[in-house]
Amino acid sequence: MIFDWCQRINVSPCFCLIPAIIRISHWLHFKSGKVPFIHVGNQVVSELGPIVQFVKAKGHSLSDGLDEVQKAEMKAYMELVNNMLLTAELYLQWCDETTVGEITHARYGSPYPWPLNHILAYQKQWEVKRKMKAIGWGNKTLDQVLEDVDQCCQALSQRLGTQPYFFNKQPTELDALVFGHLYTILTTQLTNDELSEKVKNYSNLLAFCRRIEQHYFEDRGKGSSSIRSS
Amino acid sequence: MGTVHARSLEPLPANGPDFGALGEEAEFVEVEPEAKQEILENKDVVVQHVHFDGLGRTKDDIIICEIGDVFKAKNLIEVMRKSHEAREKLLRLGIFRQVDVLIDTCQGDDALPNGLDVTFEVTELRRLTGSYNTMVGNNEGSMVLGLKLPNLLGRAEKVTFQFSYGTKETSYGLSFFKPRPGNFERNFSVNLYKVTGQFPWSSLRETDRGVSAEYSFPIWKTSHTIKWEGVWRELGCLSRSASFAVRKESGHSLKSSLSHAMVIDSRNSSILPRRGALLKVNQELAGYTGGDVSFIKEDFELQLNKQLLFDSVFSASLWGGMLVPIGDKPSSIADRFYLGGPTSVRGFGMHSVGPQSEGDYLGGEAYWAGGLHLYTPLPFRPGQGLNAGNLCNLNYGEGPKAHIRKLAECIRWSYGAGIVLRLGNIARLELNYCVPMGVQKGDKICDGVQFGAGIRFL
């Protein structure tokens, strides 16, 4: 699936790859271990950081136009997104009992036969809960998590302002990462819509996602699940 | 009246290699001559009583089944022979450390003039035995803890537990075994295990967690085993440079299979046989009792040994197998056959023959292998051998003629010489120098001397 993308995209491959990869990263269980990954020729590169490095080595980089200060700022925002949004998504999927029971458990175990589907889902849940405890999120309630998401979205919204992308007029890795996460939050059906509501509160983020989706994905005939505007 | 102490007699012809080991212990028969030299073997006797000394938790019914034949003996030699057979049967149960037989004339009020009493003096095994070993190999060290509870409930049930804790992997196995009273060859066992294996020739790591239940029974001279097994297999890559074909196979799968195995074994030893033959046929059907792996697998093993002049041994063996996936999914790398190595076609690298991708061997769905060996009677049994085999994947759209043709072309073979060392009754070590021939593109050969250790050799 991933290398199909590689072949079809001929403009800013880096940008297009990353959101697509992140979009599916949480909801599919790839057999190779760590997602996202790309398979190019003989090589397999996994996880966002190494993929960006790999693409950079091939001569494409989205952040070439930035100066050092902006690059540092970009890295900081990317860290924020990883620490906040990613963890909040994992929390909602695996630590919120209603979501786990109704959606995550069944979805995670769906490729496997009984009883493996239950065993693997419980194993993953245990792993995620352990990770949450390790980073101090073990005792957070859902409301606290949603508060954190709100604060993160506020920071992103402020940085974005009225610009089309986070830095100048050109998309960077940060745009790809933010798009990937926000798009996933907005389009994934969960029992609890509060997470997507938090994002929808910020209209410029919503517009940002819509714009990228239209420009990069719908143009190429991929519009499988689009952002529903409420 | 004289007494006869019979500890054990000459080893009688027995079935299967396990019996042979027991009979090889030191034997002697001591008969104190009487003043009157009677021809004892022709004297009619009646076994009146059979006593047991030393029974603790063992239940009576299984003992009675094993010694029933002793009562049928008509003369003294038969009594001695039947007592010996009963002793072997009791030892085979695996619940006694020692069994001594004492045959004496009957004393007491109801004693007949030709009556005999047979007494079995037994020492039961302890309730719990443990063992602790450390193992080093393949860049890994591990400690192995073993626990055995023989004769758990008094009817020769056995529970064994083994736990191996290593620097890289941990594995364990728990097994419950129960023979049928009176018919030891009919037995039932349930196993629970987790094993991890590393296969560097395929850059693959496999973790199996499984449960199996099997039932064995004899039919005439053959031994059959029916088994159900459910295994949760987790495949992963062993290194960053694993090929994509192997990466695609990684992940979790569940195999639930029913299998049947038939074994006819008339060899005198399973490790280094001098005479006899072995035929093993095994079928496995996976997928109809659950799981997501579906196939029919058939494999057989044939071995013939003949003793020639001057105690040299000629041995011929033939192995073969076929795997047919059912449905659309292709076969998994964990189910396919592998060929090559010091225990199979010698001269080639371990499991390094056949379909491969970037240096990782993927195994094949059909194979055959054959070997001819001549072992000389010198120490370490130096011998010459000829090995051949082929491994490939089958395209099931073509007919059986096409399969046979595919297996018959591009045969790998080798010839060479080597020495063999036997490690008790447990394993065999071989040191070979073989020249590989018919090497196809992609096969890995072993240049020079090859060392192999194991229990199953081609």
* pLDDT tier for residue B456 given thresholds of 50, 70 and 90: confident
Option in B236, B244, B252 nearest A112 (CB): B252
> Do A39 and B232 lie within an 8 Å CB cutoff?
no
Check pLDDT > 70 for residue B37. no
Mean residue pLDDT across chain B? 84
Interface of A with B (CB under 8 A): 29, 31-33, 39, 42, 44, 112-116, 119-120
Mean pLDDT of the region B118-126: 90
Interface of B with A (CB under 8 A): 232, 236-237, 244, 247-254, 290-292, 358
Residues of B in contact with A124 (CB under 8 A): none
Mean pLDDT of the region B451-455: 84
Check pLDDT > 90 for residue B173. yes
Lowest mean pLDDT among A84-88, A133-137, B393-397: B393-397
Mean pLDDT of the region A120-133: 90
Check pLDDT > 50 for residue A31. no
Name B118's bridge partners: B50, B103
Residue A133 in tokens: 């405890």
Find the length of chain B: 458
Top CATH class, B46-124: alpha beta
Check pLDDT > 60 for residue B5. no
Assembly ipTM: 0.72
Residues of A in contact with B206 (CB under 8 A): none
Residues of B in contact with A116 (CB under 8 A): 232, 252-254, 292
pLDDT at B31 (0 to 100): 55
pLDDT at A90 (0 to 100): 86
- Cα-Cα-Cα-Cα dihedral of A104, A105, A110, A115, to 10°? 170
- Characterize the bridge pairing of strands B356-357 and B360-361: antiparallel
Instruction: Name the region of B94 (left: φ>0; alpha: ψ -120 to 50; beta: rest).
Output: left
> Do B358 and A42 lie within an 8 Å CB cutoff?
yes
- Most confident segment among B33-37, B57-61, B170-174: B170-174
Question: Whole-angstrom Cα distance, residue B137 to residue B112?
Answer: 65
pLDDT at B12 (0 to 100): 45
Residues of A in contact with B294 (CB under 8 A): none
Option in B232, B237, B247 nearest A116 (CB): B232
Check pLDDT > 60 for residue A126. yes
Residue B12 and residue B84 in contact, taking contact as beta carbons nearer than 8 Å: yes
pLDDT single digits (tens) B63-79: 888 888 888 888 888 88
H or E stretch at A114: none
- Most confident segment among B15-19, B70-74, B195-199, B213-217: B213-217
Question: Whole-angstrom Cα distance, residue B231 to residue B229?
Answer: 6
Residues of B in contact with A44 (CB under 8 A): 244, 247
Option in B237, B247, B254 nearest A112 (CB): B254
**Which tops the pLDDT comparison, A11 or B9?**
B9
Mean pLDDT of the region A5-16: 39
Residues of A in contact with B251 (CB under 8 A): 29, 31
pLDDT single digits (tens) A156-209: 888 888 888 888 777 888 888 888 888 888 888 777 788 888 888 888 888 888
* pLDDT tier for residue B47 given thresholds of 50, 70 and 90: confident
Q: Considering only alpha carbons, which residue of chain B is nearest residue A109?
A: B252
Residue B448 in tokens: 């020079």
**Which tops the pLDDT comparison, A115 or A45?**
A115
The distance of B294 to chain A (nearest Cα, Å) reads 12
Question: Whole-angstrom Cα distance, residue B190 to residue B174?
Answer: 8
Name B263's bridge partners: B223, B280
* pLDDT tier for residue B20 given thresholds of 50, 70 and 90: very low
> Do A113 and B247 lie within an 8 Å CB cutoff?
no
Check pLDDT > 80 for residue A229. no
**Which tops the pLDDT comparison, B17 or A47?**
A47
The distance of A114 to chain B (nearest Cα, Å) reads 7
- Residue B323 φ/ψ, nearest 5 degrees: -125, 120
Mean pLDDT of the region B205-221: 94
pLDDT at A1 (0 to 100): 31
- Across the A:B interface, residue pairs with CB atoms under 8 Å apart total 33
> Do B236 and A112 lie within an 8 Å CB cutoff?
no
Mean residue pLDDT across chain A? 75
Mean pLDDT of the region A34-49: 70
Check pLDDT > 60 for residue B13. no
Output the CA–CA distances (angstroms, integers) from residue A229 to A177, A216, A223, B379, in the order listed. Answer: 21, 19, 15, 87
* pLDDT tier for residue B328 given thresholds of 50, 70 and 90: confident
Angle at B208 between CA B202 and CA B210, to 5 degrees: 155
Can you give the pTM of this predicted structure?
0.77
Output the CA–CA distances (angstroms, integers) from residue B111 to B49, B280, B303, B412, in the order listed. Answer: 10, 51, 54, 73
Segments making up each domain of chain B, as ranges: 46-124, 180-454
Residue written as token pair 């109809």: B288
Check pLDDT > 50 for residue B446. yes
Check pLDDT > 60 for residue B24. no
* pLDDT tier for residue A220 given thresholds of 50, 70 and 90: low
Mean pLDDT of the region B155-181: 89
pLDDT at A225 (0 to 100): 52
> Do A32 and B232 lie within an 8 Å CB cutoff?
no
- Most confident segment among A88-92, A163-167, B226-230: B226-230
The distance of B291 to chain A (nearest Cα, Å) reads 6
**Core vs surface per residue B143-168: b (16+ CB within 10 A) or e:** ebeeebbbbbeebbbbbbbbbbebee
Q: Considering only alpha carbons, which residue of chain A is nearest residue B236?
A: A32
> Do A32 and B252 lie within an 8 Å CB cutoff?
no
CATH of span B180-454: 2.40.160.50
Angle at B358 between CA B352 and CA B364, to 5 degrees: 45
Residue B335 in tokens: 């189910």
Question: Whole-angstrom Cα distance, residue B332 to residue B185?
Answer: 34
The distance of A151 to chain B (nearest Cα, Å) reads 38
